[in-house]
Structure 1
Amino acid sequence: MWHLTMQDKKAYENAMRLFIYESDEEWTDYLAYAKENDIDPYKEKKQELDVIRDSLMNYLPLRFHTYILDSTLNTPDVPKHVREDFLGWRNEQEQLFENILDAAYEEKQKTLVYMKPKEREVFEQSLHDATIVSIQRNATQVELTFDMAGGFTAKSIISLTFNKILSEVGQVEPEQFYIYDELRKTANGMALRVIFDCPEVEWTIEAAELDAEFYYRPKTYSDFAENGNFSTYVQTLQLEHGLIFITPQLKKRVIGIQQHAPFLVLENSNLYENDRGVFVDTICVADKLDDCIHFLHTDTYEDPYAHFSEPVPIQDLEEAALGTDLELKVRAWNTMYANPVQLAEKINHILMKMNPAQEDDMMRNVFIRHFYNEGILTTELQAKFKDILAE
């Protein structure tokens, strides 16, 4: 039996839809604000309730219906015991849904031990907010490809392939968002339930086998993503990292990079541009080459911020740490952060020259405290930064 259901998700969301100030003090502040800004508080609260009245009548317990119908539930006129009852009930619904998500998470954790390393890695991380890019299916197999741009992973593209499908309930479509999931080991293979959004659907699939593939953005992607220039971008890429060209219509390996248009050589395919757009064979994949920047991915993860961890030579630390070159400055402070004891004398010298009022919160709250906790700050510096250390 599944822990996660669309019904529970909707019940939770509807319980949380109506905003109510929780204390008399908050109501007093709101009424004062409304008066000061010439707002009719009762009209505003009635409008808020009217928008969701029908759903509240369907999901809230009967004891609150009178106060929904007379439009007082979200006003200061509702009896205090009713307001407290409603807030208590809402907190219970929130806790119930959190318990459901916790149970689904525990079920997934138990299932991970049965999975192959690549598939386990995908589900150990979150697929939350992934967007379906494409759906490929036949009688026994379905492959979902997700764009992870809005997700919580360094991966840029993830494909899940369900082989030897045993059952499938619910309809998925491109552009839906992956919200919640529950993964189960079954007697016949693996089962996955996902709550998708836009549009909402509860999708459940069981298959004998589950395979996963994933890719990353090339390290230089962020330098070109907004401003384009495909021709320059591809010259920064490295074939040995395993480049792949993925669009909603197709997935092709890159086997060569050229100095001239269309710049890429694809496996068993041709990429070309004409006055009608950019094509792979006969399939139009974009209006112009610059749009294809977003279609390139790599098998190898390259940290785009790795250069910030490159140490600055000791003789250059002071100039870099107190200078205006942001990248050098970050590298210098990271160098000192990583080597506080070895660089104690240099750090104290730099801190004596630094004006704390001109530094940002990160500098004050992270670096200074870190050096203090490492026990390298002189008595004079502790006095200089006493306000920071006292926070």
Structure 2
Amino acid sequence: MFYLSLETQHQSDVAHMAYFPEGDVEPDFMKEIIQELAREKQWIPARFHEAIDLGNLHSGNQWGEYLKWCEGVIAAHQTKRESIYKKRVLLSAKFEQHAGEVFNDSLHDGEIVQVVRADDEVTLFLDMSGGFTSKAMIQLTFKGAVETGELARDYVYDELVEIGSGYALRVLSGHPYEQWTIVFQEVEVRFVFRPKAYAERERYTDVREYLQDLTPTLNYFIVENHEFVAVDVQNIEQRADGFYSDTKWLGKTTEQVIDRIYSDTRRPLCSL
């Protein structure tokens, strides 16, 4: 059902370790790489093991053959990853528009900050500030879910497939990788963005200046207990212990307030 696995990803990673087709590598660095390969021999064909153990893989007559093996593994893995992405795009087109956006994006390098399990639902809350999507925070609630494996904090790779009973998502997370698979019937998706002014947050020394630069037609939120809570940014006031929007405390400093505010960029919070 899945191509992605601990085994396929690990072999690809190992193939990249010593793939230096230009050959211009510092001897001491190459020595360290060969030592690392010795610890990863289970992923490397047995015909290269002796040269790895002797430490002369790079200088011996098998180096060219080893590079060809690396090239083959890397190319095959890349082809499979491209196929996974194409299938993912096709599947995301079956989802409600906004939910499809999440699965059409990459979740690579997201931080899994919370996992909540209740009955047959599993909810992931991801901080995407270090990722490759414009969405800042994403909440995924899988319904009719059955999961196996473990999740680490760093979301690295995934594969989405369609099965007879719904969908299945496999995730590799952490370093070293943990493998987690969830089969689900449907998924509810919520996400928020950073306001445009956030990109220049360093220049703001006063909360009011920042609030004045926020687009008034958008909806704004803070994250509390891993939920998106609406706030009225036109009604923020400073009190003795910090800044508030009604009863919601936003922080003591301008930096803290700026960091707490998210927007919907004219999109409602959405679900599949």
User: Within 1, Cα distance between the matches of 2:244 and 2:102?
Assistant: 29
User: Within 2, Cα distance between the matches of 1:205 and 1:244?
Assistant: 29
Q: How does 1:50-129 map to 2 (within 5 A)?
A: 50-55=35-40, 57-75=41-59, 78-79=60-61, 82-129=62-109
Q: Report the TM-score, using the length of structure 2 for normalisation.
A: 0.84
Q: Which residue is 2:177 aligned to?
A: 200
Cα distance, 1:19 vs. partner?
4.5
The verdict on how the C-alpha distance between 1:69 and 1:218 changes in structure 2, with shifts beyond 3 A counting, is same
The verdict on how the C-alpha distance between 1:68 and 1:134 changes in structure 2, with shifts beyond 3 A counting, is same
Q: Does residue 47 in structure 1 map to residue 26 in structure 2? A: no
Q: Which residue is 2:236 aligned to?
A: 258
Check whether the contact 1:228–1:291 (CA below 8 A) recurs between aligned residues.
no
Check whether the contact 1:216–1:301 (CA below 8 A) recurs between aligned residues.
no
Cα distance, 1:252 vs. partner?
1.6
Cα distance, 1:104 vs. partner?
1.7
Query: Which consecutive residues of structure 2, in runs of 5 or more, have no partner in the other structure?
Result: 268-272
User: Within 2, Cα distance between the matches of 1:14 and 1:144?
Assistant: 30
Cα distance, 1:227 vs. partner?
6.5
Check whether the contact 1:185–1:191 (CA below 8 A) recurs between aligned residues.
yes
Check whether the contact 2:237–2:245 (CA below 8 A) recurs between aligned residues.
no
Q: Which residue is 1:297 aligned to?
A: 262
One of 118, 127, 130 as aligned partner of 1:150: 130
Q: Does residue 271 in structure 1 map to residue 249 in structure 2? A: yes
Amino acid at match of 2:13: E
Q: Report the TM-score, using the length of structure 1 for normalisation.
A: 0.60
User: In structure 1, the residue corresponding to 2:191 is in which secondary structure?
Assistant: strand
Higher relative contact order (CA 8 A, sep 6+): 2
User: Within 2, Cα distance between the matches of 1:125 and 1:218?
Assistant: 19
RMSD: 2.7
User: In structure 2, the residue corresponding to 1:244 is in which secondary structure?
Assistant: strand
Q: How does 1:332-371 map to 2 (within 5 A)?
A: none
Amino acid at match of 2:147: E
Cα distance, 1:50 vs. partner?
2.0
The verdict on how the C-alpha distance between 1:252 and 1:240 changes in structure 2, with shifts beyond 3 A counting, is same
Cα distance, 1:63 vs. partner?
0.8
Cα distance, 1:258 vs. partner?
2.4
Amino acid at match of 1:195: L
The verdict on how the C-alpha distance between 1:125 and 1:272 changes in structure 2, with shifts beyond 3 A counting, is closer
User: In structure 2, the residue corresponding to 1:72 is in which secondary structure?
Assistant: coil
User: Within 2, Cα distance between the matches of 1:67 and 1:234?
Assistant: 64
The verdict on how the C-alpha distance between 1:65 and 1:294 changes in structure 2, with shifts beyond 3 A counting, is same
Q: Percent identity?
A: 25
User: Within 2, Cα distance between the matches of 1:191 and 1:48?
Assistant: 36
Query: Which consecutive residues of structure 1, in runs of 5 or more, have no partner in the other structure?
Result: 35-40, 279-287, 303-391
Q: Which residue is 1:220 aligned to?
A: 197
Q: By percentage of residues, which structure has more strand?
A: 2
- Which digits, 9 at most, give the CA deviation of each residue in 1:177-236, with x for residues without a partner? 322222122332222112223452222111121111121111211222586654543454
Cα distance, 1:293 vs. partner?
2.2
The verdict on how the C-alpha distance between 1:92 and 1:292 changes in structure 2, with shifts beyond 3 A counting, is same
- Which digits, 9 at most, give the CA deviation of each residue in 1:359-384, with x for residues without a partner? xxxxxxxxxxxxxxxxxxxxxxxxxx
The verdict on how the C-alpha distance between 1:228 and 1:98 changes in structure 2, with shifts beyond 3 A counting, is farther
The verdict on how the C-alpha distance between 1:69 and 1:114 changes in structure 2, with shifts beyond 3 A counting, is same
User: Within 2, Cα distance between the matches of 1:201 and 1:195?
Assistant: 6
Amino acid at match of 1:107: K
Q: Which residue is 1:136 aligned to?
A: 116
Amino acid at match of 1:291: Q
User: Within 2, Cα distance between the matches of 1:125 and 1:114?
Assistant: 15
Check whether the contact 1:254–1:264 (CA below 8 A) recurs between aligned residues.
no
Q: Which residue is 1:332 aligned to?
A: none
Q: Which residue is 2:270 aligned to?
A: none
User: Within 2, Cα distance between the matches of 1:48 and 1:272?
Assistant: 49
